[in-house]
Structure 1
Amino acid sequence: MNDAVLTLKGIEKTYNIGKPNAVQVLHGVDLTLQRGEIVGLIAPSGSGKSTLLHIAGLLDRFDAGEMMISGQPVAGLKDRARTQVRRDRVGFVYQFHHLLPEFSALENIVLPQRAAGVSDAAAKARALDLLSSVGLAARASHRPAELSGGEAQRVAVCRALANAPDLLLADEPTGNLDPGTSDQVFDMLMALVRDTGLSALIATHNIELAHRMDRVMRLDAGRIVPA
């Protein structure tokens, strides 16, 4: 039985910076993530990996190819439907935490749930459970400026998981941290992904971290190949 959470077939993307300066970044990307699978993506800077992750997360559109999330084709979806799929089925973690500075750690995790229609009480309970799972229950009322880099990134991971997505996309999630903190945050991320059974595509420059995942792929000349 096909239990793919993310399917990309022949994905192409070109940025038209004026016709003479058109740049094709993706040249027919094929990639499938099965449920519960963690795949590492390695690629040099400027290779298009962020573009690929943005397409997979419905933050950008592709020019050609096919894409499905949990078996649902997304190419023809209107903006509202794309937003709903992204909100309900996809979590995104960036290199920088991008937490809202005026809100506490708890509130940053509550907000995406409230946007999805979850009650305030249920959203707060879910946020506290997630913070507890990463050892930050005591920091729930702290704002991002009061958190260390590693703590803020843990909160960002919790926020990405708040709506129980099928797919987690992470773009250099430990790239802004020192080596010791990077290892701690990565171990936490892997444990959460394993515990929830979701699928994850994690881009990283760290080859050692990449090879701790189920599979490692490389973006090379706009195509995905085994690393």
Structure 2
Amino acid sequence: MSDPVLSLSGLTKSYKRGTPGEVTVLRGADLEIAAGEVVALVAPSGAGKSTLLHIAGLLDTPDSGIVRISGQDMSGRSDRRRTATRRRDVGFVYQFHHLLPEFTALENVALPQLANGASEAEAQARATDLLARVGVAERADHRPAALSGGEQQRVAFCRALANAPRLLLADEPTGNLDPGTSDQVFGALMDLVTGTGMSALIATHNLELAARMDRVLRLEDGAITPVE
């Protein structure tokens, strides 16, 4: 059996926030995601899901515990090594699209590939293909301000997948959209993820969307438990 794409073991994390002092958000959290598995993470507000995703994606470090990506223990790795692993293996999607406003949709999806060493022709070809998969190919030459909220988020999905990561981490990826648009955009994301065979951990408040994934986990009181 191959190693899990993502393995989190015994993660703890606390922050100092003045009075009343330290706040603990993770208390021995454990999680494994297999290759090709799409997992939902539901949590009450302030439970620490963004912290968990940042640690899983090597943007933050736990106080204790182990993060493994594709079987590789990332504990004690240098910032350079962590950054290289993140660029190669992890894609991020946030509630807000964070597209670069001065660039077109096509350019926003091509830029991460260029930064990763792809040729301009290769980057544009993959960007065009990804945009077509989520139904916004005809909007490729438009800048973010000219796109609807749903279109902006679809482009953000494509940018996250531009370098073909093994793992996608998404934090409330449809949280800024109305229910109808949210359902359509989430469907586009699921098609994109399952079509490429990658793994995904998707945080959402929407239980209907969560039910469409392979498994649902709950983060509460610093621990992760399955939702039956």
Q: Which category of TM-score, normalised to the shorter sequence, fits these structures?
A: over 0.9
Q: Secondary structure at the residue paired with 2:5? A: strand
TM-aligned CA deviation for residue 77 of structure 1 = 1.2
**What number of residue pairs does the alignment pair up?**
227
CA deviation vs aligned residue, 1:45-87 (integer Å, no higher than 9, x gap)? 1000000001111111111011100111111111111111111
- The aligned counterpart of 2:92 is 92
| Structure 1 gap segments, 5+ residues each | none
User: Quick one: distance in 2 between partners of 1:50 and 1:187?
Assistant: 22
CA deviation vs aligned residue, 1:135-158 (integer Å, no higher than 9, x gap)? 111111100000000000000000
Equivalent runs, 1:56-205 vs 2, <5 Å: 56-205=56-205
User: Quick one: distance in 1 between partners of 2:164 and 2:225?
Assistant: 30
Could you tell me the percent identity over the aligned residues?
Answer: 68
TM-aligned CA deviation for residue 19 of structure 1 = 9.3
- The aligned counterpart of 2:48 is 48
Equivalent runs, 1:32-47 vs 2, <5 Å: 32-47=32-47
Runs of 4+ in 1 over 3 A off after TM superposition: 17-20
Q: Secondary structure at the residue paired with 2:95? A: coil
User: Quick one: distance in 2 between partners of 1:140 and 1:28?
Assistant: 44
Q: Secondary structure at the residue paired with 2:66? A: strand
User: Quick one: distance in 2 between partners of 1:196 and 1:3?
Assistant: 18
User: Quick one: distance in 2 between partners of 1:57 and 1:20?
Assistant: 29
TM-aligned CA deviation for residue 8 of structure 1 = 0.3
Query: Which letter does structure 2 place at the counterpart of 1:167?
Result: L
| Structure 2 gap segments, 5+ residues each | none
Query: Which letter does structure 1 place at the counterpart of 2:117?
Result: G
- The aligned counterpart of 1:4 is 4
CA deviation vs aligned residue, 1:183-221 (integer Å, no higher than 9, x gap)? 001111111111100000000000111011100000010
Q: Secondary structure at the residue paired with 1:4? A: coil
